[in-house]
Structure 1
Amino acid sequence: MDKIYSLLQKLSNRYASKWLVLLFDSCIIAFTFFVAYLIRYNFVLDFDFSMFLKQIPFVVLAGIISFILVNSHKGVVRFTGFKDVVNIIIGINILATILIVTTYISRKYNYNNVFDIAGSIIYIHLLLNMFFLIGAKFSIKAIYRTLITENESENDNKSIVLIYGAGDSGIITYNAISNDAKNDIDVFGFVDDNERKSGKKINLLNVYHPSNITKEFIDKHHIDSVIISIQNIEATRLLQITSKLFALNLKVKIVPAVKTWIDGDLSIGQIKDINIEDLLGREPININNPILIDEYSNRVILITGAAGSIGSELVRKLCVFNFSKLILIDSAESPLYDLQQELSRKGIQNVVPIIADIRNNVRLDSIFNCHKPEIIFHAAAYKHVPLMEQNPYEAVSVNVRGTKNVLYLSKKHSVDKFILISTDKAVNPTNVMGATKRIAEMLICCQQNSTAKTKFIITRFGNVLGSNGSVIPLFKKQIEAGGPLTVTHKDIIRYFMTIPEASLLVLEAAAMGLGHEIFVFDMGKPIKIHDLAMNMITLSGLKFPSEIDIKFIGLRPGEKIFEELLIEGEHTKPTYNDKIMIAKCKPVSVEVTKTLIEELCLLSSTSQNIEIVSKIKDIVAEYSPNNSTYDVLN
């Protein structure tokens, strides 16, 4: 067996000559012709043997002509499939037709008995050819696969997969895997959301509904990956499927569009991995820290901006802890209601949703008095750069005045910890939004010498994938609309992480914070927005630029090519979590800064935009307006 396997290994990268295959098929035709004679004469050799010997060359020649016409000899025997069977059947029928026609002509014109073959023998020969030719091809294929896979399985672990899609594409994918003798994949079954296919079998494999694919199912059958084989799948559907599969810790692969298949056939090498890491450009972050249980259990926790992207994810992450009370503050009624209903469906208790505006100090004070929060996550902010460029008063009112209100009430009511959710746009800001977030940070830094009980902590990170108004939802909508995807500049780069990752790191940093620190998250390598757009196009199964294009629209007001995570003078140190770095607040002139911030907050809504931005620039020395109407202040 080892010698046979060694021989097969040597031949595994070589294919039999098409002429050798033709010779093999011709030999089978000759053999089946002899067997047809035996059957016709009841296995008694009382027929004209000399005539039989004369007829064999003619029959073989007719067979060769038939097979050359259908190119059945060009197929690779070890990969014999449905198309090859069809070609063989067509070739055999052509052979039978040639024999019938020549027999008819021979009898009509009494031409030559060599071409006069009994009709019964022709039809018996036809049936025998179907059985022997097709059977021989599949037998060789089965023997080859058995010998190869049995020997390889002694050393290699098979990857057990499901094929998502029980349609034509899914069956072709299964055949492509089955035809590759050296693959390391074992197909367990199919998945399809068509209720009528659920419970059926394809190639003796079960078809499951997506609802059956649970964590228990995956663990029980040791399934480690899923191949998505659905042609013309929409981007939103693909992302929906992959997000569910990723949640089950499954690897996900995708079958490309039919038009990209080589010569119209799918090969196993064309099935590619599809991972969220392709968008992030780094490994995902996971945290499992028992310290968090002690930090958040039996505590009264308040979250501002609770219905936003980060705020709502913080809520979800905190729900795994046994908190005493969770107070959710947001001015957006509908998103807060949706969040409340989500928590209600999950049976989460002790959640208090409150419609309130952080700019209303009296309202906030009454909330603090009533609920006595111990930990505050301040996620409420205006964050859209272009809008804040046009509305600096609103940016100041929420990002500065609102933060100031929550901060001073935290001191007044002796809150244990106040955690500010900041952004990399606050570092050397070039826009109003970033500058107002930097002022929010400076408000925290002004508390360095405070004797208050409250520990003030800043968490700072870059863009989060999928947050409201971020580039990923924008690209998804543009893909759905047929494009183009709009990118402001070809060289623009950003740091990215997912919303769950960012929320986990905020909780971790808050737990380790002792006060007056800035926690900077390891965002991995910054990636080009252009590359991200290309990845989104690929993820959607589309081709660039033939199916969907990318359009460069120029930098928006206040936007910069590269965003930093640290201000000059901030020096980081490692923490026990290698994904979180710690920096001390850059020293500020407390009294001067407080006075300037008070003056900024006293500006009315009737103030000119340039006046407001000028005040902002007086506070944030490193603020340098870029590509906007405020450039004159430089």
Structure 2
Amino acid sequence: MNFFLKISRPFMQNLMNILLDQLLKLRNRHFLIFDIVVFLMTPLLALLLLFNGHLVLEQHIPDLVKDTILFLIVKLSVFWSFGFYKRYWRYASIEEVTYIVMLVTATVVIETVLFNIIQYIPYVGIDTLPQTLPYIDGLLSCIFIGGLRFSVRVVERTYQGHTLFNLRERVLIVGAGSAGVSLVQEMQTNPQLGFYPVAFIDDNPEKLNAHIRGIPVVGDRHQIPDVVKSLQIQKVIIAMPTVAGRVIREIVDICKVTGIHTSTLPGIHEILNGRVRLDSIRDVRIEDLLRREPVQTEIERVSGFLKGKKVLITGAGGSIGSELCRQIFQCCPAEMMLVGHGENSVFNIQQELEQLVQSIKNDGKAQEHIPRLSEFIADIRCYERLKHAFAKFQPDVIFHAAAHKHVPLMELNPPEAITNNVIGTKNLLELAQQYDVKNFVMISTDKAVNPTNVMGASKRVAEMLVLKAARDSGKPYVAVRFGNVLGSRGSVVPTFKKQIAAGGPVTVTHPDIRRYFMTIPEAVQLVLQATVVAHGGEVLMLNMGEPVKIVDLAKELIHLSGYEVNKDIEIVFTGLRPGEKLFEELFITGEEYELTEHEKLLLVKNASRIIPNNLDISVEALLKAAVRNDVNTILFLLEQLVPGYTAKYLQNKVVESAAKNITIVAQQNVKILAKVEPSSV
């Protein structure tokens, strides 16, 4: 007997595989033949049901033949007219169920009308048949044709599930909300992707023991270790894109105990189109652990503002600039000009956006919603090159994200901070006014608040230039301040990751140093929101939440990398760097803050009224000092321009020469003004 089973089992398995394979090869021409057979049988079956299984009397046969031919013609005509035989049934879903029911209902209505009409036609009538025959016939037709077609889908899933079962990872989904359910649906629909959803974890007690798409909710987050062990889980996926980082941290800590690999969906800010997909799953990042409660941005209002406009983005290849490009693209502007100095970074974001363009075309969406893209390699310090871009593009809106932002490097290279952050901004503002640009948004930093370094002071001067341009032109030109952005260039996160990859140590300047952090997508969404909140001549400040200790950030990154702090990877404190603060500040003395209509945006309502009277003269002097690489004069001028800033390397002996330099520049400006407007001097 065992010998027989041993021989027959492979044979039966091969036979089953052949039958399944043949069923999966069924096409619409095969379904048409099957439908004709069904339509020829269902009137007889319906009559048998109505007669409780008794034999159909000889007197009913002529009318039954007439009825069968009539019903066959009606069904095939309706099904063919509505493209029923052009459907691809391997991916049948609830939409196809509805479609079948609607078509069968239509045939029943037509058949009933014709059935009643023909009864009164002499020599043709089918008065020996029951009036309910069309309804029973329609019900049977729906069951048979729908059953066969959906059996293809069921067989395919069963077949794939059987053949791939041993290759699929047993997955525990944390979060039984819409995101988690979407993931399970995709896993079930595409088993070849290698995921086998076993159970849900959810903290909502109302969902406990419920079954969602056949998957049970087995407990809350605290039961993860027991569930992993009892259900032999191989992978945990956190499907909670809207929760705060605190919750993610707790779940990750619990999962560490199990030793099972943990992945997550990105935060809702990173899912631009709101669609959750399996390819969105990634390893847990520091951004997930520090993300805050999601902010409800008025996407429709921002999209309405940018739709159909020409938008120019400077620093388009940078971390902030490239994310601006992605999110602005979703708002359907007419054109986007990507301006940047680094050709490789501009090329990368251009390629990414081109792929989006291609995917939109492939989806058959309206072509008018696809922004036209152009790239422009330029240094914003080069006025004539920028002028060519403005003349060619004629922008409506400018997002200015180009800047030098490395604090220690700018402390060692003040001329670069001035030429890029100050003069570059000045060039853009002059051209924006010359070419009648309607909106200008500059990305600023919290380091511009009571700055202790050259970078922060240079950004504060750039803010002043924006505010002055807004005051002079009456246009909605604004600056938006926010703190450190996780994952951006210059952030501590990439540095820590490299140090961990090298085996350590991880260097932190001071055990008490704290910084405000945001994720890139969240920061950019709030920048876009600022465009529709501000009226012009203002500084907007993003609500950064609570500051984070850098040493805690380092510890989290070490843990995420699979190491233990001071056992596998050591943390070393190196001391504060030049120009570095222990705590970043958010408020400048004399600025008046008020809430906006958006909870995460603060407005400095009197920002344009605290601009120095000699701003233009001082900026001109800064430019000349930068061209001469005169560091001491730069530091002195910044100290005079920016309240609260003290230049640490200022030498007293150059103060007098710097003052003379300002006088010379002032005299030159007076002479120029005298030639243009002698009556006003």
TM over 0.5: yes
Going from structure 1 to structure 2, the CA distance change for 1:606 and 1:481 (only over 3 Å counts) comes to: same
What amino acid is the match of 1:393?
Answer: P
CA contact (8 A) 2:468 2:608 kept: no
Determine if the alignment matches structure 1 residue 337 to structure 2 residue 359: no
Q: Does 1:327 align with 2:337?
A: yes
Shift of 1:315: 0.5
Residue of structure 1 equivalent to 2:501:
480
Greater per-residue helix proportion: 2
Match of 1:86 in 2: none
Alignment of 1:293-312 (within 5 A): 293-312=303-322
Q: Secondary structure of 2:375's partner?
A: strand
Q: 1:444 Cα shift?
A: 2.0
| Structure 1 counterpart of 2:593, one-letter code | T
| Residue in structure 2 matching 1:531, options 515, 538, 552 | 552
What is the CA-CA distance between 1:317 and the residue it aligns to? 0.5
Residue correspondence of structure 1 range 11-90 to structure 2 within 5 A: none
Displacement of 1:364: 1.1
**Amino acid of the structure 2 residue aligned with 1:409:** L
Is 1:428–1:624's contact at 8 Å kept on the other side of the alignment? Answer: no
In structure 2, the CA distance between the partners of 1:613 and 1:355, relative to structure 1 (3 Å rule), is same
Question: What is the Cα deviation at residue 255 of structure 1?
Answer: 7.5
Asked if 1:318 corresponds to 2:328, the answer is: yes
What secondary structure, in the 3-state scheme, does the structure 1 residue paired with 2:525 have?
helix
Measured at CA, do residues 538 and 415 of structure 1 come closer, stay the same or move farther in structure 2, by a change above 3 Å?
Answer: same
In the superposition, relative to structure 1, how do residues 345 and 591 fare at CA in structure 2: closer, same or farther (>3 Å)? same
Aligned with residue 378 of structure 1, among 400, 406, 429: 400
Which structure carries more relative contact order (alpha carbon 8 Å, separation 6+)? Answer: 1
One of 377, 384, 387 as aligned partner of 1:355: 377
**Which whole-Å CA distance do the structure 1 matches of 2:216 and 2:339 have between them?**
42
Deviations 1:243-264 (A, max 9, x none): x966698986447798x67xx9
Q: CA deviation at 1:595?
A: 0.9
**2:480 is aligned with what amino acid?**
T
1:415 aligns to what?
437
Distance 1:597 1:221 in 2: 68
Name the CA distance, whole Å, in 2 between partners of 1:471 and 1:366. Answer: 37
Q: 1:469 matched to which residue of 2?
A: 490
Matched, 1:602 2:624: yes
Instruction: Give the letter aligned to residue 326 of structure 1.
Output: M
CA offsets, 1:307-366, max 9 Å, x none? 111111011001111211111100100000011111111115401111011111111112
- Measure the CA separation in 2 of the matches of 1:222 and 1:381: 51
Q: Any idea what the Cα deviations from partners look like across 1:419-474, whole Å, max 9, x if unmatched?
A: 11100011111111111001001112323541x25321110110000001201111
Tell me the TM-score normalized by structure 1. 0.59
The code of the aligned residue for 2:538 comes to: E
Q: Among 510, 529, 533, which residue is 1:489 paired with? A: 510
Contact between 1:414 and 1:454, CA under 8 Å: does it hold in 2?
no
TM-score, reference length from structure 2 = 0.55
1:167 shift after superposition: 11
| Cα distance in 2 between the residues matched to 1:613 and 1:422 | 20
Query: Could you list the per-position Cα deviations for residues 28-72 of structure 1 after superposition, in whole angstroms to 9, with x for gaps in the alignment?
Result: xxxxxxxxxxxxxxxxxxxxxxxxxxxxxxxxxxxxxxxxxxxxx
Within the alignment, does 1:617 sit opposite 2:639 as a pair? Answer: yes
Deviation at 1:580, TM superposition (A): 0.6
Shift of 1:196: 12
* Residue of structure 2 equivalent to 1:440: 462
Task: Indicate if the aligned counterparts of 1:520 and 1:582 stay in contact, CA closer than 8 A.
Answer: yes
* Equivalent position to 1:394, from 416, 427, 435: 416
User: Aligned to 2:498, what secondary structure does the other structure show?
Assistant: helix
Aligned partners of 1:411 and 1:453 also within 8 Å: no
Q: CA deviation at 1:278?
A: 6.6
Deviation at 1:397, TM superposition (A): 0.5
Matching residue of 1:547: 568
Find 2:293's aligned residue among 256, 280, 283.
Answer: 283
User: C-alpha separation between the residues in 2 aligned to 1:285 and 1:547?
Assistant: 37
Task: Name the counterpart of 1:46.
Answer: none
CA separation of 1:573 and 1:548: change in aligned 2, threshold 3 A: same
CA distance in 1, matches of 2:404, 2:543: 24
Cα offsets for 1:204-226 (capped at 9, x unmatched): x59xxxxxxxxxxx996789999
Q: Rate the CA distance shift 1:255–1:398 in 2: closer, same or farther, 3 A.
A: closer
Q: 1:428 aligns with which of 432, 450, 454?
A: 450
Q: Cα offset for 1:485?
A: 1.4
Query: 1:561 aligned to 2:561?
Result: no
Distance 1:550 1:449, change over 3 A: same
1:570 aligns with 2:591: yes
Residue 80 of structure 1: aligned partner? none
Cross-structure match for 1:506: 527
Q: Note closer, same or farther for the CA distance 1:297–1:602 as it changes in structure 2 (3 Å cut).
A: same
Secondary structure of 2:344 counterpart = helix
Q: 1:415·1:453 contact (CA, 8 Å) conserved in 2?
A: no
Secondary structure at 2:469's aligned position in 1?
coil
1:128 matched residue in structure 2 = none
Tell me by how many angstroms 1:367 deviates: 1.2
Partner secondary structure for residue 536 of structure 1 = helix
- Higher mean C-alpha deviation, range 396-405 or range 285-294: 285-294
In structure 2, the CA distance between the partners of 1:612 and 1:531, relative to structure 1 (3 Å rule), is same
1:368 aligned partner: 390
Long gaps (5+) in structure 2: 1-164, 175-179, 200-210, 229-234, 262-282, 358-369, 656-681
- Give the Å deviation of 1:617: 1.6
Cα–Cα, structure 1 residues 552 and 223, in superposed 2: closer, same or farther, change >3 Å? farther
Partner of 1:622, secondary structure, is coil
Read off the aligned partner of 1:411 and give its amino acid letter. Q
Q: Match of 2:392, as an amino acid?
A: C
Structure 1 residue runs of 5 or longer lacking an equivalent are 1-165, 178-184, 207-217, 232-237, 267-272
- Percent of residue pairs identical: 40
Distance 1:255 1:535, change over 3 A: closer
Provide the secondary structure at the position in 2 that maps to 1:446: helix
Query: CA distance change for structure 1 residues 222 and 324 in 2, over 3 Å: closer, same or farther?
Result: farther
What does 1:86-125 align with in structure 2 at a 5 Å threshold? none
1:606 is displaced (CA, Å) by: 3.3
Deviation at 1:197, TM superposition (A): 9.2
Separation in structure 2 between the aligned mates of residue 423 and residue 412 of structure 1, nearest angstrom: 27
Distance 1:499 1:278, change over 3 A: closer
Q: Distance in 1 between matches of 2:166 and 2:513?
A: 41
Q: Tell me if the contact between 1:281 and 1:525 (Cα under 8 Å) persists in the aligned partners.
A: no
- CA contact 1:411–1:454 (8 Å) conserved in 2: no
Deviations 1:545-595 (A, max 9, x none): 212121111111110111112211112111111011111215335541211
Equivalence for 2:538: 517
| Distance change (3 Å), C-alpha of 1:590 and 1:323 | same
Deviation at 1:540, TM superposition (A): 2.5
1:597–1:200 Cα change, 3 Å:
closer
- The structural deviation recorded for 1:608 is 2.8
Partners of 1:618 and 1:559 in 2: how far apart?
Answer: 20
3-state SS of 2:478 partner: strand
- CA–CA separation in structure 1 for the residues paired with 2:480 and 2:494: 24
State the SS of the aligned residue for 1:618.
helix
After superposition, the Cα gap between the structure-2 partners of 1:228 and 1:551, relative to the gap in structure 1 and judged at 3 Å, is farther
Shift of 1:283: 2.4
Structure 2 SS opposite 1:290:
helix
The root-mean-square deviation of aligned C-alpha atoms, in Å, is 4.2
Write out per-residue CA displacement over residues 351-398 of structure 1, whole angstroms, 9 at most, x where no aligned residue.
111101111111111211111101111111111111111111111001
Contact 2:334/2:371 (8 A) holds in 1: no
Contact 2:310 2:334 in 1 (8 A): yes
